[in-house]
Structure 1
Amino acid sequence: MTAYEPLGDPGAGTVPAPGAAPAAYDAVVLAGGAARRLGGADKPGVRVGGRALLDRVLAACAGARTTVVVADHRPTVRTVTWAREDPPGGGPLAALAAGLRQTTAEHVVVLSADLPFLAGRTVGALLSALAASDADGVLLSDADGRDQPLVAAYRASALRRGLATLTEDRAGLAGLPLRRLTGALQLTRVTDAVASFDCDTWDDIATARARIREHGHVLDEWISAAKDELGIDLDVDTGLLLDLARDAAHGVARPAAPLTTFLVGYAAGRAGGGPEAVAEAARKAAALAQRWAEEAAETGTPARGKPDMAPDATPDTRPDA
């Protein structure tokens, strides 16, 4: 994809709000292409926002019961099952068949490994739309109306029937285009220009890298990357922690902000971890920072311990400051 318009928020577009609750699902991620338009580079390993494209896709389908990656083995941040089409390089249809053989769920999400903005919200919406319909699958279409069969949720039984039909008169599936399968299925479509953005060229990679550094996205992207790198699967109230950092910086001293948030994390870990432990530790630290600032105001002591610093010299640490 080379055309570019402002991408907006991940998961934004016309993906419907989840209706019927999605059933348990497996995921098949196709990551073994030749990447000719990238000069043969290892596309799944190309980093966007500090994370390999493959790892970004794996994060989006983290709710899968089983995730199968069809490619040669490589390090990934999440545990996956590996498969390979026969012969290697046999194309997306052969790769899909190889991955599908490792799944057991009735609903299967099929994804390519080059989707930097795919989010769990979009995966959930695809699954919910599938559960609410009689279709064989629900796939995304991009802003120009092009179908994206590798950003889709399917009924595994329909995929298996279609693959069996295609192999009746052939020795294998190598070389067959994916549309030979999807063209025989009953499909519905939803549009999501963000989640369907894929990286086929170095220009696409540059666009993705620039977009995640935009002011409205960089913090969320950084936190997601850091959690993956540290092996943390924990949703916390980032606004709460940012408010704490701001209060510590303004009420105590600028270096108090990172040190205090570190101590909050350490205390929460010792208390067993989890969002509640983080919130409680942050509440206590924020109350302490408030008392510290009040005492400084009562005694006339500069709050940050720097008499030559104006009261508003420390910027707000919130991203919307």
Structure 2
Amino acid sequence: MDFDAVVLAGGRARRFGADKPAASVGGRTLVEWAAAAAGGASRLVVVGPPRNVLPGAVLVREDPPGAGPVPALRAGLAEVRSPWLALLAADLPFLRPGHVARLLDAAAGRAGAVLVDGAGREQWLAGCWDAAALREALGAYGGASLRGLLGPLGPAHVALPAEPRPAWYDCDTPDDLAAARRLL
């Protein structure tokens, strides 16, 4: 399936206390892990401050910078050319291309698919979406919550088998990052 990838790599990282996407796990930055997971994308769009670690990526900023995931998605979606997109956070060190492929497969015939964690909670920054449906939803949405935007689209829920390094694991705090380094 032809798809682009939008990686959200901005935000304030209040709980992290540093430039989270630039943090390293296993010799790669978190944003590089996210980009690698979307390796089959026709186009990689990274929303956030300029970084020189992803040659060929289209770099954009949300307006205003740090405004949150909905404005960041809006900025990234403006650069999407494919009919489908993978929407990913830049802090998912264990997400792999096979996981993105599963999301794309599950999204076929629907508006999208979202990864769910081990407790069944949607991980809104790990999903694949029909770009036209997402543009329409964004055009009618005035809120700030990804759940509020994406939930009504009725995405397929994709649960993956339990793994020591779950695809949905995100690094929100320095402790999460340390745990990811140990797991890798």
Q: TM-score range by the shorter chain?
A: over 0.9
Residue aligning to 1:95: 72
Aligned residue pairs total 180
Return 5+ residue gaps in structure 2 as ranges.
none
Question: Which amino acid letter does the alignment assign opposite residue 13 of structure 2?
Answer: A
How big is the shift at 1:179?
1.7
Residue aligning to 1:4: none
Root-mean-square deviation (Å)? 1.2
TM-score by length of 2: 0.94
Q: Runs (4+) of structure 1 moved beyond 2 Å?
A: none
Residue aligning to 1:197: 169
Residue aligning to 1:184: 152
Contact 1:58 1:78 in 2 (8 A): no
Question: Which amino acid letter does the alignment assign opposite residue 36 of structure 1?
Answer: R
Residue aligning to 1:63: 40
Question: Which amino acid letter does the alignment assign opposite residue 6 of structure 2?
Answer: V
Separation in 2, partners of 1:164, 1:211? 40
Contact 2:7 2:87 in 1 (8 A): yes
Q: How does 1:58-137 map to 2 (within 5 A)?
A: 58-131=35-108, 134-137=109-112
How big is the shift at 1:88?
1.0
More strand by share: 2
Q: Secondary structure at the match of 1:89?
A: coil
Separation in 2, partners of 1:78, 1:182? 30
Counterpart check, 1:43 vs 2:43:
no
Question: Which amino acid letter does the alignment assign opposite residue 68 of structure 1?
Answer: V
Choose from 194, 208, 232 the match for 2:180. 208
Separation in 1, partners of 2:72, 2:59? 11
Separation in 1, partners of 2:5, 2:19? 21
Separation in 2, partners of 1:105, 1:71? 21
Contact 1:106 1:156 in 2 (8 A): yes
Q: How does 1:164-183 map to 2 (within 5 A)?
A: 164-167=139-142, 176-183=144-151
Residue aligning to 1:153: 128
How big is the shift at 1:77?
3.9
TM-score by length of 1: 0.55
Separation in 2, partners of 1:120, 1:166? 30
Q: Which has the higher contact order (CA 8 A, sep 6+)?
A: 2
How big is the shift at 1:183?
2.5
Q: Secondary structure at the match of 1:98?
A: helix
Question: Which amino acid letter does the alignment assign opposite residue 73 of structure 2?
Answer: L
How big is the shift at 1:104?
1.1
How big is the shift at 1:92?
0.2
Return 5+ residue gaps in structure 1 as ranges.
1-22, 168-172, 213-321
Contact 2:106 2:158 in 1 (8 A): no
- Closer, same or farther in 2 for the Cα pair 1:143/1:46, shift >3 Å? same
Residue aligning to 1:25: 3
Contact 2:11 2:65 in 1 (8 A): no
How big is the shift at 1:29?
0.3
How big is the shift at 1:26?
0.4
Residue by residue over 1:166-221, the C-alpha shift from the partner in whole angstroms, topping out at 9 and shown as x without a partner, is 15xxxxx6xx1112211321211011351100011111111110111xxxxxxxxx
Contact 1:139 1:149 in 2 (8 A): yes
Identity value in percent: 46
